[in-house]
A and B are shown apart, each in its own frame.
Chain A
Amino acid sequence: MEPIAQPDLDAALDRMWAKFLPELEKRVAFLERANAALAAGTLNVDLRAKANAAAHKLAGVLGTFGLTRGTVLAREAEIIYSGEPDTDPANATRLQQIAAGLRTLLASRKGRACPESEVPIRIALSS
């Protein structure tokens, strides 16, 4: 198979973005739900764990679609929701800002995947 050119890969990634956008929006919606529960003092352990997982998944994928800022925001939410034993309610405002930022990024995503220089791929050989 001939190596693919960057514009062709970008076009393929754009198609995948369109396919997976609804799922990404669901993850952000879940974060918004958890944020609201945190602000209301009703965030339970199960919801917190699911919010942590949703943020983790967003952090892992958004940069791959060129949204490096989205990965940074989602990773911040993941860390906040990993707080033990509870997520500090004082973080509710920041989490709401993060969710709003993610919404904006999802709505605005266009064009190519992330430039190589922005992608935090690191390799740690075990031996």
Chain B
Amino acid sequence: MAHRILIIDDEEDIREVAALSLETVAGWDVVMASSGAQGLARAIEYQPEAILLDVMMPGMDGPTTFRELRKNPVTALIPVLLLTAKVQASDQRRFADLGVDAVLFKPFDPMTLSTQIAGVLGWN
């Protein structure tokens, strides 16, 4: 089954490698956004089944984007997985407190990223 997923990340290299991974390894449909604001618009327009959301972005960062997604009834129920290179324990506690569905850490393995996401979301 081709799941629909939205990747929001300001870093083009991460965005494209993640998209390559999810499209070619798992056969999912991927839409990308390069900022929190663009991600909000894409989420409304595209209605993805899940959102992979970067934490550190200029302008609207990941946590702010997540809160905006939750405020909007159109996007409030879409599962959100944070994708971050922040590995310190204090950061992890902060992310867990947000109420996201999961936190995935960079760097990721392109061959198994889709398996990790599917496992979290019960898509297996």
Residues of A within 8 A of B (CB): 1-4, 6, 8-9, 12-13, 16, 19-20, 23-24, 53, 56-57, 59-65, 68, 71, 75, 113-114, 116, 119-126
Stretch at the interface among B11-19, B36-44, B45-53, B70-78: B11-19
Q: When the two chains form their complex, are residues B11 and A126 in contact, meaning their CB atoms are under 8 A apart?
A: no
A16-B13 in contact (CB<8A)? yes
In whole angstroms, how far apart are the Cα atoms of A53 and B96 in the complex?
23
Q: What is the minimal beta-carbon distance from A100 to any residue of chain B, in angstroms?
A: 21
* Sampled A-B contacts (13; CB under 8 Å): A9-B111, A16-B13, A20-B13, A57-B11, A61-B14, A61-B17, A63-B107, A64-B17, A65-B107, A116-B111, A116-B112, A123-B116, A124-B102
CA–CA, A113 and B92, complex, Å: 26
Pairwise interchain contact B110-A60, C-beta atoms closer than 8 A: no
Chain B residues engaging chain A, CB cutoff 8 angstroms: 2, 11-14, 16-17, 20-21, 23-27, 56, 84-85, 87, 92, 95-96, 98-113, 116, 119-120
Q: Which chain A residue has the least Cβ–Cβ distance from B109?
A: A119
Question: Which of A8, A53, A56, A126 has the most chain B CB atoms closer than 10 A to its own CB?
Answer: A126
Query: Which residues of chain A have C-beta atoms less than 8 A from B56's C-beta?
Result: 53, 56
Instruction: Knowing A12-B24, A56-B85 are in contact, say whether A64-B109 is a contact too (CB < 8 A).
Output: yes
CB <8 Å contact, B96 and A126: yes
Closest to A123 in B: B102
- Residues on A with beta carbons closer than 8 Å to the beta carbon of B119: 123
Judging by beta carbons under 8 Å apart, are A64 and B107 in contact? yes
Interface of chain A, main secondary structure: helix
Q: In whole angstroms, how far apart are the Cα atoms of A123 and B85 in the complex?
A: 13
Q: How far is the CB of A79 from chain B (nearest CB, A)?
A: 9
Docked complex Cα distance between A90 and B99 (Å) = 40
Can you name 4 extra interface pairs (CB under 8 A) apart from A56-B85, A65-B107?
Answer: A9-B21, A75-B87, A114-B107, A123-B119
The winner among A6, A9, A60, A61 for most chain B CB atoms within 10 A is A60
Complex CA–CA separation, A118 to B17 (angstroms) = 18
Q: Which residues of B contact A60 (CB under 8 A)?
A: 11, 14, 84-85, 106-107
**Complex contact A114–B109 (CB within 8 A):** yes
Closest residue of A by beta carbon distance from B2: A1
How distant is the Cα of A12 from the Cα of B25 in the complex, in angstroms? 11
CB atoms of B106 and A24 under 8 A apart: no
Provide the residues of chain B in CB contact with A19, threshold 8 Å.
Answer: 16
